[in-house]
């Protein structure tokens, strides 16, 4: 295990919590970023520590560009350089395009896309110096395929995939990989209000929702040593929705 740590944004529950858990199981001390769910973040930290791992809760609204630096400094002072970054924080504000307000457009883009750029830019300082790094961006199948009522969300996730590819090419020579995972319908609080004319699982070839753990397993691979020749790609985790 290299000397350093991992940072997972939006990790107080759901997919982010599952990702933080598996990274801790692989020996990484983990920063559990959260915006408002302090209790959830502390529970994730407690579960990791109970299993013999190391973790710390980090409050920061990643949609604020000024939040990245103090969050990284606190984590680096505790566990060392961030060598694994998982940009998982995300929000939705669904509406048909004519009804999307400016504030909802900006909030979704800032949280889902701009924040990933800001944290990536900051993390690359140490990764390039160490000549090792793993960045995994949690995108969505909604990025490359249309989903009415989610123009802001789709734009943010499509942009995240484009960011992933571009940064991957820029840093590939320095031992840093940059990839994305694109979940489909995963059973979390984030998707609890979704409805596609009835049972959403009917639209999934696998006929079921995915689990946070199934997404986390893919992130675990991309963050590992064995994925050193995988970069600039998007791993779809959707039960066949995009086939």
Q: Catalytic positions, please?
A: 153
Query: With b meaning 16 or more CB within 10 Å and e meaning fewer, what string describes 111-124?
Result: bbbbbbbbbbebbb
Strands 176-183 and 82-87: unpaired
Q: What single string gives the DSSP state of each residue in 140-208?
A: -TTTTS--TTBHHHHHHHHHHHHHHHHHHHHHGGGTEEEEEEEE-SB-SGGGTT--SSS-GGGGSTTSS
Strands 234-237 and 82-87: unpaired
212 is written with which tokens?
A: 């946070």
């Amino acid at each position: 295990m290299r000397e350093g740590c991992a940072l997972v944004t939006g990790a107080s529950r759901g997919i982010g919590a599952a990702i933080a858990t598996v990274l801790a199981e692989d020996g990484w001390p983990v920063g559990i970023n959260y915006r408002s769910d302090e209790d959830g973040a502390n529970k994730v930290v407690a579960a990791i520590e109970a299993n013999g791992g190391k973790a710390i809760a980090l409050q920061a609204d990643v949609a604020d560009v000024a939040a990245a630096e103090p969050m990284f400094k606190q984590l680096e002072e505790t566990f060392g350089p961030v060598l694994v970054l998982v940009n998982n924080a995300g929000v939705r504000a669904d509406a048909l395009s004519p009804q999307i307000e400016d504030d909802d457009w900006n909030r979704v883009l800032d949280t889902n896309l701009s924040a990933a750029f800001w944290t990536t830019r900051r993390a690359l300082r140490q990764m390039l110096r160490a000549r090792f790094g793993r960045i995994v961006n949690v995108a969505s199948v909604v990025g490359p395929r249309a989903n009415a009522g989610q123009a802001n969300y789709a734009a943010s996730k499509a942009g995240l995939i484009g960011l992933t590819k571009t940064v991957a090419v820029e840093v590939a020579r320095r031992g840093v990989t940059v990839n994305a995972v694109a979940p489909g319908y995963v059973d979390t609080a984030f998707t609890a209000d979704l409805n596609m004319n009835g049972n959403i699982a009917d639209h999934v070839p696998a006929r079921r929702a995915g689990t946070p753990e199934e997404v986390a397993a893919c992130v675990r691979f991309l963050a590992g040593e064995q994925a050193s020749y995988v970069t600039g790609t998007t791993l779809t985790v959707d039960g066949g929705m995009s086939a």
